A and B are shown apart, each in its own frame.
Chain A
Amino acid sequence: MSYNKRILYVDLTTGKTEVKPLNEKLAKEYIGGIGLGMKLWLDHSKAGVDPFSPENPLLFITGPLTGTMAPSAGNSYAVVSKSPLTEGICECKAHGFFGPELKRAGYDVIIFTGKSEKLVYAWIDDNSVQLLDAEHLRGMSPAETDETIREELGDFYIRVSAIGEAGEKLSRVGCVINDEFRAIGRGGMGAVMGSKNLKAVAVRGTNDVNVANVEDFKEFVRTIYERMKGPATRKYRTLGTPENVLVLNALAALPTRNFSQATFEGAEKVSGEHLNERYVKKIIGCATCGMRCDHIALVPEGEYKGSTSRVEFECLWALGPLCGVDRLDAIIEAIRLCDYYGMDGISAGVIVAFAMDLYENGIITKKDTDGLDLNFGNHEALVETIKRMGTRKGWLGDTLAEGSMRAAEKIGKDAYKYANHIKGMELPGYDLRTLKTAALGFSVSFRGACHLRSGAYSPDVKGKVDRFKIEKGRGKIVMDGEDLYNVVDSLILCKFSRGVMYDGLKDMANYYTLATGIKMTPEEIIKAGERINNLARVINIREGKGTRADDTLPWKIMNVPVPDEGVAKGAVVSQKEFDIGLDDYYSVRGWTKDGIPTPEKLKELGLNDLVKIVNKKIGSKKRGK
């Protein structure tokens, strides 16, 4: 069976390590990946723990398919901890080569607790676990760290997941990167690693990974490989996600200049079409994946000549149109720098755009920027600001490294009106005024503004609903998307390959059963998805978040109508329709009007141990009245 049924505990304070068994019932109820990770985080943490406290557990979790030949799921891992950006639960997934190595080393989960006195890296060589000095790696990028560790340990095939300077310096948008450019991107997981003085996790695994039903698994995997050559992955194999630039621009859904406009006059110049024609030099892939989606761009000439990075839509958008920058060479360089310092490229771009907006509106001045002309469209200022954020240099770099919500609080005045975040996490590249199912979906997401918690932008973009309004029925669309994505992220299937599951939940349940030998039906697996969403919500409630008051939208989305001429002119989300959406969503979820899961719902999902948390909250709400 494809679980190792082993959890590795590493106490960074004492250096002690221990292996404990993973309970099979828990594995089935929470699948693996983010589900299992969040459950174990809850069980190993105290309410209200500070994200930067040694007591905030940091988990690395594999999925039930990790280490097998399952395309796009065999190569993955997830990281879970409390986010310094949202102060709620955070989960991220990354693919590449690191995850399967961890599985082969013999573990399903690593739980890091405590804080090392000095900067160290964890060297996990099958059964041997050591904390090695990492002082010489301080300030190195994740990729440099990776290379140096492999060199000093003397094995080319060691896999490394590491933080850069941003994480070391507790930037709240610090990420963790494995295999050069695969990121545990959002929510500041890199900063949590940094707070523990953990520079990297290096793994060598030489054990077998076996599946329960070898012949049928092989057959199923063969089918998936064939489907991967088909229409479901076309976009990712050809232009890649930057295809979205022109698609969203045509829909007036491409946020531009910090959500000042919803279309970008320079869209053609930063389109996926132009990117591929001019800059993409090779398209590569992760372990055991037949899709290949990594569009590696190289700047052939000019001031950014030689700059190379993996380009996806979200970072391209955040560091491009959102900052008013229409030069792909500068965008490629900005993405490279985000990877270099180990920063979430989405948040970084949204934060720079926020600062540019403040500058254009006179809320910050040249004095604050140390002479930098922080106007929209200034690509040199973009690149410089990224460098300052990554190193926390100067007032500007130090302030912005805290994320847009905290930076706005620090700056005061009307700065909050320009900060485009939900629950502290910066928005991804979809204009929520013209994609309103997405507005609802992003607002209720448990990790903050995130397109990948429910995929709620999809029905809007595909024209399956009237994207200019929120009405009854959207709650169910968001809920179904969330539950499904919880399953996907717990199996840790790459979302680019979600379309190859032609039979949806049936395929996913089958995949699980063939690999683990644990019987799973489609009904059970979607129930697990629902369970995981309720679990995450209750965790946030325990941490003082996660009620209706936290399900918000950025100020601009609700107060500044889209100015662009055309179909979207005047679009804005009204409080009234937003309330209709929230009511509808909470109602289909079986939650109270305040967005709190009811004891009945929790019991139905087998979450009896969480009832006391919501009872406390519901009780305090009633007393408050």
Chain B
Amino acid sequence: MPTIHEKKFVSGDPSKCIGCCVCEYACSMKHENTYNPTKSRIRAVRLNSFVNLAVACRLCEDPPCVAACPRDALSQSEENGVIIVDEDKCNGCGWCVEACDYGAIQLHPEKKVVFTCDLCDGEPQCVEWCPEEALDFTTKDVISQKARITAVKKLFQEALKSEKK
């Protein structure tokens, strides 16, 4: 399994997300061949005009959803860390739903089993379609690097400006 540093997941940037739900439509089309946000593995949340964020599975270390399943229906992929649902074992009891702090694993509206982000075989369609480039398929390390660089750029914007001259 990739280490926590290597694991790539779908991350949303609240400063860019506008709550448009394009990710939800792209996801349901990719996985279910229809347009239906209730079948999307990523869900957008708009608390108010200023606070918007789309949330998907964060591929936790020792995922609490897996630990919470009394039927061993959930496992974490050795290859990329996604949560795999054994639909024969899952009976929709929802312990995993309760265990997830992010609401990233949900009960399927029709199939009576849970479902969550599978990263679309390494090409997440939500990231592909997001019109605001608010979603990234990335690692925690890259996110922290980017944040640091942005912070330093802000701190030294005057110096950077003069450098260009």
List A residues at the B interface (Cβ < 8 Å): 67-69, 71, 74, 97, 104, 156-157, 180-181, 206-211, 214, 218, 225, 228-229, 281-292, 294, 296, 298, 308, 310
| A209: B residues at CB distance < 8 A | 34-36
> Would A69 and B35 be within 8 Å (CB), given that A225-B131, A281-B50 are in contact?
yes
Tell which of A157, A210, A288 touches B25, judged by Cβ atoms closer than 8 Å: A288
Closest CB of chain B to A77's CB: distance in Å? Answer: 16
Does B20 lie within 8 Å of A287, measured CB to CB? yes
Does A180 lie within 8 Å of B22, measured CB to CB? no
| B26: A residues at CB distance < 8 A | 69
Does A214 lie within 8 Å of B33, measured CB to CB? yes
Does A208 lie within 8 Å of B18, measured CB to CB? no
> Would A69 and B25 be within 8 Å (CB), given that A206-B109, A281-B50, A292-B18 are in contact?
yes
Q: Top 7 closest A-B pairs, CB basis?
A: A290-B131, A208-B34, A69-B25, A284-B18, A296-B49, A209-B35, A285-B20
Closest CB of chain A to B90's CB: distance in Å? Answer: 20
Closest CB of chain B to A226's CB: distance in Å? Answer: 10
Does A180 lie within 8 Å of B49, measured CB to CB? yes
At the interface, yes or no: B137 with Cβ under 8 Å from chain A?
A: no
Pick 10 A–B contacts, CB within 8 A, sort by A: A69-B26, A180-B49, A209-B34, A218-B29, A282-B18, A284-B18, A284-B49, A288-B20, A292-B18, A296-B50
Q: How far is the CA of A209 from the CA of B25 in the complex (A)?
A: 10
At the interface, yes or no: B116 with Cβ under 8 Å from chain A?
A: no
Q: How far is the CA of A157 from the CA of B109 in the complex (A)?
A: 14
Q: How far is the CA of A291 from the CA of B22 in the complex (A)?
A: 11
Q: How far is the CA of A283 from the CA of B134 in the complex (A)?
A: 13
At the interface, yes or no: B72 with Cβ under 8 Å from chain A?
A: no
At the interface, yes or no: B52 with Cβ under 8 Å from chain A?
A: yes
Q: How far is the CA of A288 from the CA of B126 in the complex (A)?
A: 12
Tell which of B52, B109, B131 touches A229, judged by Cβ atoms closer than 8 Å: B131
Closest to B35 in A: A209
Closest CB of chain B to A209's CB: distance in Å? Answer: 5
| A294: B residues at CB distance < 8 A | 49
> Would A206 and B36 be within 8 Å (CB), given that A228-B131, A282-B49, A290-B131 are in contact?
yes
Tell which of A67, A97, A225, A285 touches B35, judged by Cβ atoms closer than 8 Å: A67
Closest CB of chain A to B13's CB: distance in Å? Answer: 13
Known: A69-B25, A104-B36, A209-B35. 7 other contacts (CB 8 A): A69-B29, A71-B131, A284-B18, A288-B22, A289-B20, A290-B132, A296-B49
- B3-48 with Cβ < 8 A to chain A: 18-22, 25-26, 29, 32-39, 45-46, 48
Q: How far is the CA of A143 from the CA of B34 in the complex (A)?
A: 30
| B18: A residues at CB distance < 8 A | 282-285, 292
Does A292 lie within 8 Å of B49, measured CB to CB? no
| B25: A residues at CB distance < 8 A | 68-69, 74, 288
Closest to B32 in A: A208
Q: How far is the CA of A517 from the CA of B94 in the complex (A)?
A: 39
Q: How far is the CA of A210 from the CA of B36 in the complex (A)?
A: 9
> Would A284 and B36 be within 8 Å (CB), given that A69-B22, A69-B26, A228-B131 are in contact?
no
| A181: B residues at CB distance < 8 A | 49
| A104: B residues at CB distance < 8 A | 36
| B38: A residues at CB distance < 8 A | 157, 206
List B residues at the A interface (Cβ < 8 Å): 18-22, 25-26, 29, 32-39, 45-46, 48-50, 52, 109, 129, 131-132
Closest CB of chain A to B45's CB: distance in Å? Answer: 8
Q: How far is the CA of A214 from the CA of B29 in the complex (A)?
A: 9
Does A282 lie within 8 Å of B50, measured CB to CB? yes
> Would A308 and B49 be within 8 Å (CB), given that A69-B25, A69-B29, A292-B20 are in contact?
yes
| A228: B residues at CB distance < 8 A | 131
Q: How far is the CA of A198 from the CA of B45 in the complex (A)?
A: 28
Q: How far is the CA of A156 from the CA of B55 in the complex (A)?
A: 15
Q: How far is the CA of A156 from the CA of B49 in the complex (A)?
A: 15
Does A285 lie within 8 Å of B33, measured CB to CB? no
| A298: B residues at CB distance < 8 A | 50
Q: How far is the CA of A206 from the CA of B38 in the complex (A)?
A: 6
Most buried by A among B26, B29, B35, B46: B35
Closest CB of chain A to B22's CB: distance in Å? Answer: 6
Q: How far is the CA of A229 from the CA of B26 in the complex (A)?
A: 18
| B36: A residues at CB distance < 8 A | 104, 206-209
Q: How far is the CA of A284 from the CA of B48 in the complex (A)?
A: 10
| B109: A residues at CB distance < 8 A | 206
| B50: A residues at CB distance < 8 A | 281-282, 296, 298
Tell which of A180, A210, A292 touches B132, judged by Cβ atoms closer than 8 Å: A292
Does B21 lie within 8 Å of A210, measured CB to CB? no
Closest CB of chain B to A223's CB: distance in Å? Answer: 13
| B45: A residues at CB distance < 8 A | 156
Closest to A181 in B: B49
| B132: A residues at CB distance < 8 A | 290, 292
Closest CB of chain A to B24's CB: distance in Å? Answer: 9
Q: How far is the CA of A486 from the CA of B138 in the complex (A)?
A: 45
Closest to A308 in B: B49
Q: How far is the CA of A287 from the CA of B25 in the complex (A)?
A: 9
Tell which of B19, B29, B39 touches A284, judged by Cβ atoms closer than 8 Å: B19
Closest CB of chain A to B53's CB: distance in Å? Answer: 12
Closest to B52 in A: A284
Closest to B22 in A: A288
Does B21 lie within 8 Å of A287, measured CB to CB? yes
Q: How far is the CA of A455 from the CA of B113 in the complex (A)?
A: 51
Tell which of A210, A291, A296 touches B34, judged by Cβ atoms closer than 8 Å: A210
Q: How far is the CA of A207 from the CA of B32 in the complex (A)?
A: 12
| B48: A residues at CB distance < 8 A | 180
Q: How far is the CA of A71 from the CA of B25 in the complex (A)?
A: 11
| A180: B residues at CB distance < 8 A | 48-49
Closest CB of chain A to B27's CB: distance in Å? Answer: 11
Closest CB of chain B to A148's CB: distance in Å? Answer: 15
Closest to A290 in B: B131
| B131: A residues at CB distance < 8 A | 71, 225, 228-229, 289-292
Q: How far is the CA of A288 from the CA of B129 in the complex (A)?
A: 10
Closest to B132 in A: A292
Q: How far is the CA of A174 from the CA of B14 in the complex (A)?
A: 35
| A229: B residues at CB distance < 8 A | 131
Does A286 lie within 8 Å of B34, measured CB to CB? no
Q: How far is the CA of A229 from the CA of B109 in the complex (A)?
A: 34
| A206: B residues at CB distance < 8 A | 36, 38, 109
| A285: B residues at CB distance < 8 A | 18-20
| A156: B residues at CB distance < 8 A | 45
| A208: B residues at CB distance < 8 A | 32, 34-36, 39
